[in-house]
Amino acid sequence: MLMPAQTTSPSDLRSRVGSPSLMLAVATIGFAVNFWAWALISPLGPMFRQQGTLGSLSESDVALMVAVPVVVGSLGRIVVGALTDRYGGRVMFPLISAVTILPVLFLAFVALDSYSLILVGGFFLGIAGTSFAVGVPFVNAWFPPDRRGLAVGIFGAGMGGTAISALTTVKLYGNVGEKAPFLITAAVLAAYAVVSWVVLRDAPGRVVPQTSLGSRLMANARLPITWQAAILYAVAFGGYVAFSVYLPAYLKTEYGLSPAGAANRMAGFVVVAVVMRPLGGWLSDRIGSVPVLVAGYAVVVAGAAVAAGHPPVDSVGAVAFLSMAAALGCGSGATFALIAQVTEPARVGGVTGLVGAAGGFGGFVPPLLMGYIYGRTESYALGLGLLSVTAALTLALTLTVVRRTAAGGSAAS
């Protein structure tokens, strides 16, 4: 039950509980650090297969190794989001960060010589991926409705933590020692757990739900915004994840690029998407979430259709993929601005968990589908065409059902 407010000036209250900007900064750092840990296995998978250090691994074995943390992190968001509504980000951020240290150290000291043990470690490493469902309700509560889109978008840029892993893990593993990337990440997680416990504070006036976890999950799942935002995010963030995972393989196969050239272009895609996510939130605060989503999905429709025609990689192809990166980043930011707009604050964590899980699965399926289609047609055109069609259907949903939901939320606020 919400306690009655004390007679306290805003400046005194802020000095005691912290400033929104500080809370946003610390939460974003925590998201990036946990995503860094979440992505530790992905850069090493192809190297393990090439070197044969774990025996003879097939491409499917490597795909499973990389996918396990993604799946667990996606499913775990459902429960962690609901727990954050109950206990707050001030408890959950340090807890998730501290618990993640255990599988990181397990991988470093126990699992690196065994494929099966790496799968076990990767399963529990998925806990780090649930940090997204902690940060969104935490940040959302600190900002007024007209600033939540930008704030949650800035927090979402912490997904760039995956780039830290991509740029450092293999180099540290090869040049410093096989345990080095894990030990460094564990140390950073430990430092963050301490700092976040000391610095983070839940927003004043946070309403704590009193119902059971199961009943909250069922109630949140029945909300119209939950399934609508889940579809939007599965396409927007799922598309970003799918391209960030599969783009190097696509560029090497389709255009004959070197591994370094493909990796550099993938990094450009990731940077554009990460930078545009806060912009999508900011634009949603200014002109509304629906126009931003409509524009984003329209760009994906066109970009995927152009890419399906095998355009020159350094001209039209680059424009097509970077435009899609910008659109997917904006769409991801706008989706959570929409959630903040139409969802009561006490339910934001639970809704975020369900929607975040959909985004994770949205990134898991397309690479498998693209690989399957290419294996049977020796062409990526059909897979990119399906992306264009999917974005077009999502655009239609946004223009009709989602628009009505957003209008209803605006009228109620």
Is 119 found in the same domain as 67?
yes
- Of residues 3 and 88, the one with the higher pLDDT is 88
Is 390 found in the same domain as 259?
yes
d(CA 210, CA 322): 45
- What does each C-alpha distance from 316 to 180, 297, 312, 404 come to in angstroms? 40, 19, 6, 36
Model confidence pLDDT, tens digit, residues 144-193: 877 888 888 899 888 888 878 877 888 888 889 899 999 999 999 999 99
Confidence at 18, pLDDT banded by 50, 70, 90 = low
d(CA 3, CA 30): 29
Is 411 found in the same domain as 315?
yes
Residue at 207 is within a domain:
no
Host H or E run for residue 309: none
CA dihedral 328, 376, 266, 298 (to 10 degrees): -20
The encoded tokens of residue 347 equal 């339910």
Bridge partner list, 55: 53
Is 241 found in the same domain as 191?
no
Lowest average pLDDT, out of 134-138, 258-262, 276-280, goes to 258-262
Closest among 113, 59, 35 to 359, alpha carbons compared: 35
Question: Quick check: 27 pLDDT over 60?
Answer: yes
Bridge partner list, 53: 55
Mean pLDDT of 361-384: 79
Closest among 214, 242, 211, 245 to 304, alpha carbons compared: 242
pLDDT at 401: 93
The CATH number of residue 288's host domain is 1.20.1250.20
Model confidence pLDDT, tens digit, residues 316-370: 989 999 999 999 999 998 998 898 888 887 788 788 888 888 887 787 777 777 7
d(CA 244, CA 257): 16
Residue 55: phi and psi, rounded to 5, are 90, -165
Amino acid present at 126: G
Residue at 213 is within a domain:
no
pLDDT at 402: 93
Is 122 found in the same domain as 257?
no
Confidence at 59, pLDDT banded by 50, 70, 90 = low
- Of residues 48 and 187, the one with the higher pLDDT is 187
- Of residues 371 and 90, the one with the higher pLDDT is 90
d(CA 326, CA 323): 5
d(CA 259, CA 17): 48
Confidence at 410, pLDDT banded by 50, 70, 90 = low
Residue at 4 is within a domain:
no
Residue at 289 is within a domain:
yes
Is 360 in contact with 74 (CB distance < 8 Å)?
Answer: yes
- Overall domain count for the chain: 2
Confidence at 413, pLDDT banded by 50, 70, 90 = very low
Model confidence pLDDT, tens digit, residues 241-268: 778 767 777 887 788 877 667 777 877 8
Q: What is the phi-psi region of residue 310: left when phi exceeds 0, alpha when psi lies from -120 to 50, beta otherwise?
A: left
Amino acid present at 362: G
- Of residues 411 and 170, the one with the higher pLDDT is 170
Query: Domain range holding 412?
Result: 219-413
Is 188 found in the same domain as 234?
no
Query: Last residue of a domain, which of 134, 167, 201?
Result: 201
Residues in contact with 3: Cβ distance below 8 Å, sequence separation at least 6, in sequence order: none
Residue at 214 is within a domain:
no
Confidence (pTM): 0.78
Closest among 86, 301, 330 to 215, alpha carbons compared: 86
Closest among 287, 329, 323, 328 to 307, alpha carbons compared: 323
Is 285 found in the same domain as 171?
no
d(CA 272, CA 266): 10
Residue at 149 is within a domain:
yes
Is 57 in contact with 176 (CB distance < 8 Å)?
Answer: no
d(CA 345, CA 380): 43
Residue at 120 is within a domain:
yes
Residue at 3 is within a domain:
no
d(CA 125, CA 165): 14
Lowest average pLDDT, out of 256-260, 309-313, 400-404, goes to 256-260
